[in-house]
Every structure is written in structure tokens, then in C-alpha cells.
Structure 1
Amino acid sequence: MSMRIDVTGLPPERVTFAPSPLAELGMSLHVLSDPDHHPGLRGWAASVSAALDRDLADRLSQADFLWRTTFSDVFAPFAGLPGRRAVPGETLAEEMELLDKLSDEQFVHVALEFTCRLDYDMLHPGPLDSPEMRARSLELAAARGSVQEAFARRLLEDPPAVRAWFRELIRDCDEAFFADIWDRVGPQLAADAREKNELLRRRGLARALAAVSTAVSLDERTGVVTVDKLLAGRATTGEGNLALVPTSLGRPHLMVLSRYGWQVTLTYPVTAPAPGSPTVEQLTLRMTALAHPVRMKLCRHLARTPHTTSELAQALGMTPPEISRHLGVLKKAGVIVTRRHGRYVQHQMDLTTVARLGTDFIEGVLR
């Protein structure tokens, strides 16, 4: 499983690395609403939440579905502008002006994306134009609770009023905590974007993407960018740009905006994952290999000391060929190491790799 982006014919000048203050604000709201996704930021989230004005905290709770699961495309308005070649604004005020340029239909779609499961990669009538879609949206919002139903109803009845409400919410978040964050991380993100743009200019797109994450790669023969994620999807840049937005708060998330008619955008964390982090395929192999009852018994021995195939066969009451097949599965998954000592070949569990499985699993499913 992976997200594939067709960039056939995309020239380097239509690839842009640029920080986005609005995207970073959206990520900060995500961390505040679900700090378990970001253990290293729990202290920061607790201190900011404790200092929030009660009115602001209440307003944030009314729309937290826009950023709790992941942050909505409402935080990337540049991607929705005609031509699909706009870039993020340099300031939060500039980005809010870009948000104002989205049509009411676009704003409603991105605001109801998570609540109402509106179509993401296809063009269909929206709830402002279709009475059937409007009824369905309200029904799905109601299933999520009274707060989300009230928000959806307000949005469908008066989109401009909700946009004004959202603009005020963003402004108050900036005053309450985000301005300090941006003063600290903005220069870091700008430096990362400059470094990646220079690498793109000197070494090409493949090298620039490799510097973004080990989970991102370009097949130059087919013109396809692969983002290693636990989902399957396809997108194409077409005549638009490919935008890459760094975030200092986003690890382990690696998010692809591939909304129909919008510019393809990849938001990536500037903090790299630990060396040796497995791909989704490798993670699946490791968990499947360890789940088998016979291989679990083998691991009990292999975790303690090196064993030969014959020793394991004797210990488990199985034939050496049977043991060899199970060892082959474990070795392919990368959870055991094999070494030769004189005439003997010994196998032992890679305890460091197995110990990281919990962390690797969480990063894999959240990526």
C-alpha cells in the first residue's frame, strides 16, 4: 500500500518547497487536541492548554474535528486556488487572504471533509448545490454528535458567517500561543525549504525527495513519486505544481493533499525518523512473521542465546527442514541475524529491531 503521485513531465521550476504558517498552526491545533500522537510534545501541549482562555478553548472544541484526526485542507488554501500553482503565504495574514479566495463551495467541502465524508478525489455536487447531499451531510454530522451537527448546520446555512468565525478563531489562536511558536520555528522551516530548493536545483527532484523522508521516493523512469503509507491512492500534478511544506510539529505524520482540482501538496516533518525505520511492507512482514505460534516458540530460544538449526529442531521436536523454513521467514522479516562460527551457523534474535516494533507500528499507522 502506498500513495502514488504521477509527476510525468513536471519541470523543476514547478516544484516548490515553502513553509506555511497556517499549516503549522493547524498542526499545533492537532497536537493540542491529540498529544498522544506526539509524545515529545506532551509537555508543551499541557502548558498551552492550561493557559488557554476558557472562551477560546470552548470555540476550539466546536471545530476540533478539523484537526483532531489530521488537519483539514482548510489549512492549505493556496492549494485550492485556480491554476494549482500558488504558494503558501509568508505570513498568517497573507494565508488568511488566500483562504478568503476559496469559493463557498470549496470552503464547505474542506470544512465537512471529516464529518460528512464528502468525496475527496472526484467531482460531485456538494451540499450547497444538492439537497440530497445536504441532507446526507447533516445526517452524518448528527451521528458524530450535537456539536458537529450544530457546526455543519451553521456552515450550510451561512458559509460567510462561519468563515468569519473561523478567521477570528485563527487570529485569537495566533495571539494566544501561535505567534510565539512561529517566531521560534518559522526560521527553521524557512531554512529547510531553502536547503531543499537548492538541492532540487543542483541534484534534481529524486534527491530532493529523498532528503524529505526515507518514505518518499521517485521512480525517474515512470515519473511516479511513491509515499510509503498504510493507504492506497493515486494523484497527478497535471498542469499544476507539486508543493512540499515542512512542519516542525508533524512527526510522524507525512500527509498528501490530493483533493480533486487542487494542487498536490506533501506536508513533511523536518525531524527525521530514527535510522532504519522500516517501510510499511517491512513492518507487515515483521509482525506477520512473529505472530506464528511456532515462530514465537523459536523466538523464545533465539532471544536468549544463539542456536543452530539442529539445536532448535531438537528443542521444539521438529525436523531441521521445518525449522529452516520458519527461520527463513524470520530472516526475511529482518528480526533475526545469522552468523557462522567455524563449522556452525547460528541464529539469534535482533533484540533492537524487535524492541522497536511498537514505535515503528505507531509511526507506520500515523504516517
Structure 2
Amino acid sequence: MHIDIKGLAPDRIVFETSPLAELGLALHALSEPGHHPGLHGWATATASALEPDLADRLHEADFLWRHTFSDIFLAFAGVRGGDGKTGASLAEDLDTLDRLDDERFVSAALEFTCTSLYGLGAPSPLGNPTMHARALEMAAARGPRQVEFTQQLLADPAPVRRWVRRLFEDCDQAFFAETWQRVRVQLVADARHKTDLLRRKGLGEALKAVSPALALDEARTLISADKLSDGRASAAGPGLTLIPSTFGWPHLNLLHAPGWRPVIHYPVHQPELPSPASVELLQLRLEALAHPMRMRLCRHLARSAHTTGELADTHGITAPEVSRHLAVLKKAGLVTTRRRGRYVLHQLDLTTVARLGSDFLEGILR
């Protein structure tokens, strides 16, 4: 994954903090504690204290953050003609979210239906019949909650936008305001430190401090991220924002949607992972993971359960090829399968994978 910074003025590269972005990753940690072993205590305590109504509403909308981190949490980057500034409070960030036009809000909210087209500048499903039909089709593969959400959003975005804002405001009241007060000090300090490093030693050193997965080429015109996903963005016009997160590890998120300001959303600490797997299982599992296509499949299966057809469409291979790779992963005990109606869904067993070692888990979740 690459960000083109050729011609970008140094003062257009900024480190910011964002309450809304941190809320998104906090919600992700609540819904996918297997991705965040170091946050089990916080996630358990927070989830157990939620009122039933709020817990149900979070479950209804968790596809916005559980498997695909929706760009609505980085709304500051998508406001047309905006300055790329984040809010000092969640309320200010939500006001910025309200400034997104319907096309951008809908496309960002429906990111889970078009991940294979992300970064290509596909037309909005609001006005394009093909994308409208695709969004509904892909939502059907995700589940009934996703279908209902997609239908309501495409029919009339306004009520859904109000529902989403109210949901985030209720999260703030229930748990996030206290959480943000606790983590904000560390995030502000990190952003200031990285800004100072950027000014004193340059972008290359600042990127090294952000993540070892980031690198600047010799010409100082291209930032590369060592991720299994592909994508390219240009920061030459809009600038580049880097945002620290206490909830993010091991995810290194890069926003590269066409027309949006590129964003690097990075973790500021790394909790320890579980113990490695037994020796008896290690050889079989490592052999199963040695194939590059199976590693790419694991990246998608780690985030969400997928059908064979979805995986084939995303990776540009045939369904029988996907089935053969899945059979190898299943034999090694790395993938679980369940049926939902006419769909058969496959997902990576994160607990098992975590025992293989932190390098592989971090690589596929980065």
C-alpha cells in the first residue's frame, strides 16, 4: 500500500487526535476482543456495564466497525473543501460527520459491501443502479441486519444518519467520555512527540517511530506500508494526517479512498499476545500458511466470515481454487465454517492463529 507525497509541502503533514476515530476502534475492540488480547479487561468490564438497549443497538450496527473500519470514523478526511482538521471533542467530530454529503456518507457506511472496489472511485450506490444492486447483493451475503441497514440507507439517508449520531452520542455518555479522558493525554503526547520528531529529523524518522511497517523511499516521494492489502493514494493536494490510537494495535489503518484526505491511523502501544501453539500442530499449520494466496485469504478471514464466492471475487480467482485453499486451512484447524441459510461462511480461528506467534497475527491484521 502506498501514499504518494511528491510535491507535498512539509507543513501539510500533520499529527492529530480524533475522539471519533478512537471511538471507532474502541467499538471494534468491544466486538472483536480476539483482535486485542491486551484489552480483554477493558472490553469485558465495558460490555458488562452496557444497558441492554445500547448493547442491542451496537450489535445492530457493528458491521460498521467489527470487520471493516468504516471511513465515517474519519469523517474529517472526507469533507469536500475541508481543512482536514479533527475535532477537539466527540461532539465536534460528529458535527464534521454531519458535514459529509449523502454520497460520501453512504459510500463510507456501505464500505462492507464493496471492499473489493475500495480505492477505485466506484460510483455512489445512491445514484448508480449497478452499484445500488451490488450493495444490496453483498449485504445479503453479510446478513439480514446488513440488508435492512442498506435498504434504509439507500431509501433515505437522513434518518439513518440521525440514528448513527445518536448511537455514538449514547456511547459517549455510557462509557466513551470517561475512556477518552483517560487515553487523550497519551494520544496528545504522542502526537506532539511525533510532530517534534517530524520537524527535527524529518518524515523518514517520524514514520519509523510511528510503525516499523512504514517506510519512505529514497526520493522521499512515496510512503509504503507493509500490508497484505493493496491501495494507492495521493497526498499532494489534500495533505496527510496521522492519528495515534490506544485501541488500535495490531491494526495499522490507511484511508486511501479517492477524493478523501489520506490518513494513517496507527497504534501507540503493543500488548502481549498468547503463548505459541504446540509443536505437534506447528508444522502442519505453517505448511498450510506457506502459500501466498492462503495468506491473503487469511487476511480477509481474520476480519470477517466470508463465502467462497466473496473470496473468489475479491482475489480474482475461481471458486474451486478458493475451496482447495480453504480445505488446506481447515485440515490444519485454522478455519471454521458455519452455514447461514443458503450461505456457507468461513472464518479464521484467531485464538488458534494467535498461538502461532505475533508476527503472523500482526501481519494479517495490520
TM-score bin (small chain)? 0.7 to 0.9
Note the alpha carbon deviations across 1:259-303, whole angstroms, 9 max, x for none: 0100000000011588xxxxxxxxxxxx67x979xxxxxxxxxxx
Corresponding residue number in structure 2 for 1:362: 361
Structure 1 unaligned residues grouped into runs of 5+: 275-286, 293-354
Counterpart-to-counterpart distance in 2, 1:113 and 1:221:
33
Q: Shift of residue 145 of structure 1?
A: 1.3
Corresponding residue number in structure 2 for 1:11: 9
Note the alpha carbon deviations across 1:170-218, whole angstroms, 9 max, x for none: 0000011101110100111011101111111111111111110111111
Q: Shift of residue 238 of structure 1?
A: 2.4
Counterpart-to-counterpart distance in 2, 1:81 and 1:252:
28
Q: Shift of residue 70 of structure 1?
A: 3.9
Instruction: Give 2:143's aligned amino acid.
Output: G
Q: Shift of residue 116 of structure 1?
A: 4.2
| Preserved CA contact (<8 Å) 2:33 2:39 | yes
| Compared CA separation, residues 257 and 197, structure 1 to 2 (3 A) | same
| Compared CA separation, residues 25 and 263, structure 1 to 2 (3 A) | same
Corresponding residue number in structure 2 for 1:113: 111
- The structure 1 segments of at least 4 consecutive aligned residues displaced by more than 6 Å after TM superposition are none
SS at match of 1:261: coil
| Preserved CA contact (<8 Å) 1:16 1:244 | yes
| Preserved CA contact (<8 Å) 2:15 2:192 | yes
Corresponding residue number in structure 1 for 2:262: 264
SS at match of 2:42: helix
Corresponding residue number in structure 1 for 2:320: none
| Compared CA separation, residues 101 and 78, structure 1 to 2 (3 A) | same
| Preserved CA contact (<8 Å) 2:37 2:271 | no
Corresponding residue number in structure 2 for 1:307: none
Q: Shift of residue 222 of structure 1?
A: 5.0
Aligned length: 291
Instruction: Give 2:67's aligned amino acid.
Output: T
Match of 1:247 among 230, 245, 248: 245
Corresponding residue number in structure 2 for 1:199: 197
Q: How does 1:215-230 map to 2 (within 5 A)?
A: 215-221=213-219, 223-230=221-228
| Preserved CA contact (<8 Å) 1:77 1:98 | yes
Corresponding residue number in structure 2 for 1:237: 235
Counterpart-to-counterpart distance in 1, 2:2 and 2:97:
27
Residues 76-85 or 24-33, more deviating: 76-85
Q: Shift of residue 87 of structure 1?
A: 1.6
Q: Are 2:98 and 1:100 aligned?
A: yes
| Preserved CA contact (<8 Å) 2:252 2:265 | yes
Corresponding residue number in structure 2 for 1:174: 172
TM score, norm. by length of structure 1: 0.75
| Compared CA separation, residues 273 and 170, structure 1 to 2 (3 A) | closer
TM score, norm. by length of structure 2: 0.75
| Preserved CA contact (<8 Å) 2:13 2:240 | yes
| Preserved CA contact (<8 Å) 1:116 1:141 | no
SS at match of 1:262: coil
SS at match of 1:76: helix
| Compared CA separation, residues 291 and 21, structure 1 to 2 (3 A) | closer
Corresponding residue number in structure 2 for 1:155: 153
Instruction: Give 2:2's aligned amino acid.
Output: R
Q: Shift of residue 131 of structure 1?
A: 2.4
| Compared CA separation, residues 264 and 291, structure 1 to 2 (3 A) | closer
Corresponding residue number in structure 1 for 2:131: 133
Q: Shift of residue 81 of structure 1?
A: 1.6
